[in-house]
Structure 1
């Protein structure tokens, strides 16, 4: 048969819904169209086929004998088409890995490293979703989340990735080059503000100074990437997490002030829905990510001294 002689797909979908419900109104509700639109589609299909598919009995309709036979075959054909479409979509989706993480972590930690994953797994199409909103795995099309928090994520597979510390940094040319020499001197210097954070107070306590308040005046930065940029631009001294500042410290665009860490009460976590954990793309990403975390940690583990080796 010449496929050009087939009825329009939309007409067949409308007929299948109307036949299944034996109601034009219920078919209209399902298809989000009007009752009149369904009636028009059915009449046009009947004219094209040259036979009645429904028997009209007042406001009610029921399938004719021809309509019953045709409905069975149309439903079977549409189901086969739906199955074929799903298989194609699932095949493409199986290659796509969507990873959600904080914008700052995605930009400053994940992006410089993700090339190694792509080189190892060219069969996986990676999408880095940078957002500060908490992913809802029941609603969002996301495979894996990298979350920064306390680790309490019900109904998800959760693994601790990376503990975090923070410390003060600034541009090497800040003030201009006359950097604070003591924590007390730092307390009197312009400090940049970060929202939802108390890391300055934690750092000063670690430095032996108590009662130093968080900065109260100036620009309030919601995102650590913007805070980092402000520090590189010489606008002040920023308290930054190690994972965010490492690349800029290594390049010399930032310098660290004092060898004192403020331990963060939060950590980074690998999370995903339990059914997705066994998928090939998630397993490949998890393995690679754990290796990168270990490589990152190794940068901050001091080599053993001779006395340690004995």
Structure 2
């Protein structure tokens, strides 16, 4: 962006402006000089230069020092706001405040069950980057919504964007240890007559999972049906039934002993349900490279990768 010289209004010296503000605030040339670390004579010359530039008197002398004229009072009030804006803009330029914010949008269950539990690790490793996380199934736009990265759930159908899919994710059957002890299961066929909890938004539902394992399944009524996976997890923890969910999202529950897989890995069904989505140009940004590198490390530690 360039500024046309035709649009530039007459601007006095910034040194003269600072001297004027200091004298106005202290009411004394000597005090202003001390605060500015210059001589009183230098301050007097700067005030004289500003008055000459404006063609107006800004101060009158009194027995106690100097007092603002009416013009001086109005001028001080008028320049205070713009100087504050200049100060804020300068601070932004020095600290690159916009760059330090990484704005992430995530599907609710991934954001709550996997990402949020690890965010403090990122903060500890990268204290200069402030994360802003929002979770929803809204169709957001990167420019309009000031978004850096979107972690989406679904089919990878975004040809104009950079898409990194989380790999090695599987759908597994889970239940609480107490519920499983009361309802022992050794084969998928046994699940058909048991209490099943349905997650409406998963890519692989019970019908697909049963078909994958060659089990006849016809429109079974579920004991509960939820539109958020984290609700299904909590219901299973409350001994309400069996769930079919992502092992990526289930990690914390399994490690805490709240849930356990009903079958071994031979009954798990692979799925590619979670994707990191962002504009191609964004990958070159340092904050993005650092976040993606950190996320890859965390995924690998959990048995997944990009």
TM-score range, shorter chain: 0.5 to 0.7
Q: Report how many aligned residue pairs link the two structures.
A: 232
Q: 1:261 aligns with which of 244, 257, 268?
A: 268
Q: 1:243 aligns with which of 232, 248, 251?
A: 248
Alpha-carbon displacement from aligned partner over 1:235-279 (angstroms, at most 9, x marks no partner):
111111111111111221101111211222x43222222333222
The question of 1:226 aligning with 2:244 is answered: no
Deviation at 1:222, TM superposition (A): 0.8
Deviation at 1:93, TM superposition (A): 2.0
Cα distance, 1:275–1:160 mapped onto 2, change above 3 Å: same
* Corresponding position of 1:207: 213
135-144 or 221-230, which moves further after superposition? Answer: 135-144
Q: Are the counterparts in 1 of residues 192 and 220 from structure 2 also a CA contact under 8 Å? A: no
* Corresponding position of 1:133: 138
Q: Are the counterparts in 2 of residues 165 and 241 from structure 1 also a CA contact under 8 Å? A: yes
The question of 1:291 aligning with 2:303 is answered: no
Two-structure CA RMSD over aligned residues (Å): 3.1
Deviation at 1:295, TM superposition (A): 2.1
Cα distance, 1:243–1:190 mapped onto 2, change above 3 Å: same
Cα distance, 1:243–1:216 mapped onto 2, change above 3 Å: same
Cα distance, 1:213–1:164 mapped onto 2, change above 3 Å: farther
The question of 1:118 aligning with 2:123 is answered: yes
* Corresponding position of 2:62: none
Q: 2:280 aligns with which of 267, 274, 281?
A: 274
Alpha-carbon displacement from aligned partner over 1:105-129 (angstroms, at most 9, x marks no partner):
1121112322322221111112222
Structure possessing the higher radius of gyration over alpha carbons = 2
* Corresponding position of 2:182: 177
Q: Are the counterparts in 2 of residues 167 and 203 from structure 1 also a CA contact under 8 Å? A: no
Q: Aligned partners of 1:284, 1:180: CA distance in 2, in Å?
A: 44
Cα distance, 1:213–1:125 mapped onto 2, change above 3 Å: farther
Q: Aligned partners of 2:151, 2:101: CA distance in 1, in Å?
A: 17
The question of 1:157 aligning with 2:129 is answered: no
Alignment partner of 1:169: what SS?
A: strand
Alignment partner of 2:116: what SS?
A: helix
Q: Are the counterparts in 2 of residues 202 and 262 from structure 1 also a CA contact under 8 Å? A: no
Cα distance, 1:170–1:288 mapped onto 2, change above 3 Å: same
Q: Structure 1 regions of 5+ residues with no counterpart?
A: 6-47, 50-73, 300-310
Alignment partner of 1:212: what SS?
A: coil
Cα distance, 1:139–1:237 mapped onto 2, change above 3 Å: same
Q: Are the counterparts in 1 of residues 104 and 134 from structure 2 also a CA contact under 8 Å? A: yes
Cα distance, 1:187–1:4 mapped onto 2, change above 3 Å: farther
Cα distance, 1:274–1:251 mapped onto 2, change above 3 Å: same
Cα distance, 1:2–1:246 mapped onto 2, change above 3 Å: closer
1:290-309 → structure 2 map (5 Å cutoff): 290-297=296-303
Deviation at 1:178, TM superposition (A): 2.9
The question of 1:147 aligning with 2:147 is answered: no
162-171 or 222-231, which moves further after superposition? Answer: 162-171
Deviation at 1:185, TM superposition (A): 1.0
Q: 1:186 aligns with which of 191, 216, 228?
A: 191
